[in-house]
Each structure stands twice: as C-alpha cells, then as structure tokens.
C-alpha cells in the first residue's frame, strides 16, 4: 500500500503561504507517496469537554483523516508569537480521548512560513510541543520560511535552494520515521 502523508495548514485563507508551502512539499515527495492537504479544519467546532461523547461529524472526519495517514506534515503561520487558534483547537480534539488518541506515535513534521523575518519559529516550537504532549512522534527539525510573500517562485516551488533542500531533508526525516514505525507495527 502507498505511504500516505496528510498535510495540515494552520491558515484558512485561500492565498495562504503555508498552504503554498505544503504544495511545494508535495512536489518534492516521491511519486509513490500519496499526499493530501486537509480541507476540513474550519468546520471543526471549538473544543468543549461536554461534547466529547458526541463530538460530531467534522471531528470524526478529522480524526479519521489522521488515522488513515501514515504521517502528518503541519505548516503553521505565527499569530502573535504562537500558533493559530484553529490549529490548537484541532489538536485538542485529536488528542482526546487521551488513552486512545489518534495522534499516539503518529510520525509528524512541522514547518512554517510567516511574512516576518523569523519564519514562524516560535509557532513551530509551540506546535511541536503540543503535538508531542498529545503523544505524536515529532521530528526535532524546523523549517522557518521568513518573508514568505517573497519566498516562492512562480511555479510554486521555494525560490531559495537552501529552503528547498531543508524542506527535502524534513520530508526525508518524516518518511524515515514512517518507515521506522511501520517496521515496528507491521502496518502498511
Ligand atoms: C492575527 C495575526 C497575528 C500575526 N502575528 C505574527 C507574528 O507574531 N509573527 C509573524 O512573523 N507574523 C505574524 N503575522 C503575520 C503572518 O505571518 C502572515 O499574515 C502570514 O502570511 C500568515 O500565514 P498565511 O500566509 O499562511 O495565511 C500575524 C498575522 C495575523 C493575521
């Protein structure tokens, strides 16, 4: 069965640099890897413990998408030196119930873009922290794409070779984690 990677953009806007970054990543993946950008984040309601027994279709859909993916690639903007609320909310839902979270041992990589100079480094660090707390196997690496409005070529690829190489390295790391997990669980 093909390896499946799910891309999750922390930005909902249609012209998002982070969604663009996920597309640039998709172009660097080996053809045998299936890649999809998750499109349902906006439909997920605010987390409420009272709703945990019946979280609704959008949350079930989100959890199933994670379950069905061999690995996750998050691209996050930075909002006020942290991650967008919509992303934290989605992670909170995915992290429950704690003893059966779909994030447990899931291979995950985090990358990010911002229009500021620092490329969402703080947001990436916070996102890695939240995902690790939820039990995911989070790659240590980060990919800060600063001045994101100038970072992409017309064909959608990252303009700077340094960024492109770092992204390819991150993807290698993620695919390596996926293979390592499959070797242990015998899945895929
Ligand atoms: C509410 C809000 C807060 C922001 N805070 C930061 C920030 O702390 N650091 C930063 O580098 N950029 C910040 N930005 C600018 C974002 O990096 C920029 O809007 C970026 O393009 C968002 O990602 P996107 O293109 O994927 O939507 C902020 C933008 C918004 C809307």
Distance 79 CA to ligand 1 centre (A): 5
Note the pLDDT of residue 186. Answer: 74
> To test ligand 1's pocket by mutation, which of 114, 116, 117, 127 has the most ligand atoms within 8 angstroms of CB?
114
Say what the pLDDT of residue 188 is.
Answer: 56
Q: What angle do CA 40, 128, 42 make, to 5 degrees?
A: 15
Find out whether 53 and 7 touch, Cβ atoms under 8 Å: no
pTM, 2 dp? 0.97
Ligand 1 atom index nearest CA of 120: 11
**Residue 57 pLDDT exceeds 70:** yes
Q: Which helix (H) or strand (E) holds 91?
A: helix 85-94
Helix 85-94 vs helix 121-133: angle between axes, to the nearest 10 degrees?
A: 10
Helices 85-94 and 57-68, interaxial angle, to 10°? 80
CA of 43 from ligand 1 middle (Å) equals: 21
pLDDT digits (tens, 9 = 90+) for 85-116: 999 999 999 999 999 999 999 999 999 999 99
Query: Does a cis peptide bond (omega within 30 degrees of 0) precede residue 2?
Result: no
Q: What does the block give as tokens for 127?
A: 């996102």
Does the pLDDT of residue 187 top 70, yes or no? no
Ligand 1 midpoint to CA 152 (Å): 17
pLDDT tens by residue, 1-48: 899 999 999 999 999 999 999 999 999 999 999 999 999 999 999 999
Distance CA 125, CA 108 (A): 13
Q: What is the rounded distance in angstroms from the CA atom of residue 106 to the CA atom of residue 178?
A: 8
């Amino acid at each position: 069965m093909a390896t499946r990677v799910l891309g999750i953009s922390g930005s909902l806007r249609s012209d998002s640099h982070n969604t663009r970054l996920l597309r640039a990543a998709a172009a660097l993946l080996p053809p045998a890897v299936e890649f999809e950008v998750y499109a349902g984040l906006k439909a997920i309601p605010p987390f409420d413990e009272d709703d945990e027994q019946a979280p609704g279709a959008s949350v079930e859909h989100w959890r199933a998408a994670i379950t069905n993916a061999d690995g996750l690639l998050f691209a996050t903007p930075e909002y006020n030196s942290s991650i967008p609320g919509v992303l934290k909310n989605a992670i909170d839902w995915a992290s429950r119930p704690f003893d059966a979270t779909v994030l447990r041992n899931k291979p995950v990589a985090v990358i990010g873009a911002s229009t500021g100079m620092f490329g969402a480094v703080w947001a990436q660090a916070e996102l890695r922290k939240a995902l690790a707390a939820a039990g995911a196997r989070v790659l240590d690496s980060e990919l800060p794409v600063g001045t994101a409005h100038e970072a992409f070529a017309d064909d959608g690829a990252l303009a700077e070779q340094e960024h492109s190489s770092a992204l390819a390295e991150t993807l290698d790391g993620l695919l390596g984690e996926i293979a390592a997990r499959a070797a242990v669980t015998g899945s895929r």
